[in-house]
Structure 1
Amino acid sequence: MAANTKQIGRRYPIDLNADLGEGGVNDAALLHIITSANIACGGHAGDQASMCQTVTLAKQCNVLIGAHPSYPDRANFGRQTMELSPNELLDSIVDQISALKQICNTLEVKLHHVKPHGALYNQAAENSDLGQIIIDAIKLVDPDLKLMMLAGSSLVQQARAQGIEVIEEAFADRAYLANGALASRRLVGAVIENPQTAMKQVENIINSQPIATLDGKSVIIKATSICLHGDNEHALAFAQLISRHLSQPT
Structure 2
Amino acid sequence: MQININADLGEMAGQDEEIMPYLSSCNIATGGHVGDIDSMQRAISLAKKHNVKIGAHPSYPDLENFGRIRPKISDEDLKESLTHQLSTFYEIAVKNNVDVHHIKPHGALYHDVINDRNKAELFLNVLDDLGLKTSIYTMKNEFLDQLGKKNHIIHNEAFIDRRYTIDLRLVSRKHPNALIENPEEVWEQLYSILYLNKINVISGEVMDIKADTFCIHGDHPNAVKILKYIKFKLEKLKP
Question: Shorter-chain-normalised TM-score: which range?
Answer: over 0.9
Contact 1:146 1:164 in 2 (8 A): yes
Contact 2:197 2:210 in 1 (8 A): no
Q: State how far apart, in whole Å, the 2-side matches of 1:218 and 1:141 are.
A: 41
Matches within 5 A, 1:1-250: 11-12=1-2, 14-160=3-149, 162-247=150-235, 248-250=237-239
Contact 2:145 2:154 in 1 (8 A): yes
- Kindly state the Cα deviation for residue 164 of structure 1 after the two structures are TM-superposed: 1.4
1:32 is paired with a residue whose SS is helix
2:115 is paired with a residue whose SS is coil
TM norm structure 1: 0.91
Q: State how far apart, in whole Å, the 2-side matches of 1:99 and 1:243 are.
A: 34
C-alpha spacing 1:243/1:141, structure 2 compared with 1 (3 Å): farther
Q: Deviations over 1:58-104 (max 9, x none)?
A: 01111100000011101100000112111111111111111111000
Q: State how far apart, in whole Å, the 1-side matches of 2:194 and 2:21 are.
A: 21
Q: State how far apart, in whole Å, the 2-side matches of 1:215 and 1:155 are.
A: 26
2:158 is paired with a residue whose SS is strand
- Identical counterparts, % of pairs: 35
Partner of 1:7: none
Q: State how far apart, in whole Å, the 2-side matches of 1:219 and 1:48 are.
A: 41
Q: State how far apart, in whole Å, the 1-side matches of 2:160 and 2:141 are.
A: 16
TM norm structure 2: 0.95
Partner of 1:6: none
Q: Deviations over 1:157-205 (max 9, x none)?
A: 1111x22111110011000111111111111211111111110000011
1:25 is paired with a residue whose SS is coil
Contact 2:59 2:106 in 1 (8 A): yes
Q: State how far apart, in whole Å, the 1-side matches of 2:205 and 2:198 are.
A: 9
Q: State how far apart, in whole Å, the 2-side matches of 1:151 and 1:241 are.
A: 27
Structure 2 alignment gaps of length 5 or more: none
Contact 2:193 2:211 in 1 (8 A): yes
- Kindly state the Cα deviation for residue 25 of structure 1 after the two structures are TM-superposed: 1.6
Q: State how far apart, in whole Å, the 2-side matches of 1:207 and 1:18 are.
A: 21
Contact 2:133 2:151 in 1 (8 A): no
Contact 1:177 1:183 in 2 (8 A): yes
- Kindly state the Cα deviation for residue 231 of structure 1 after the two structures are TM-superposed: 0.4
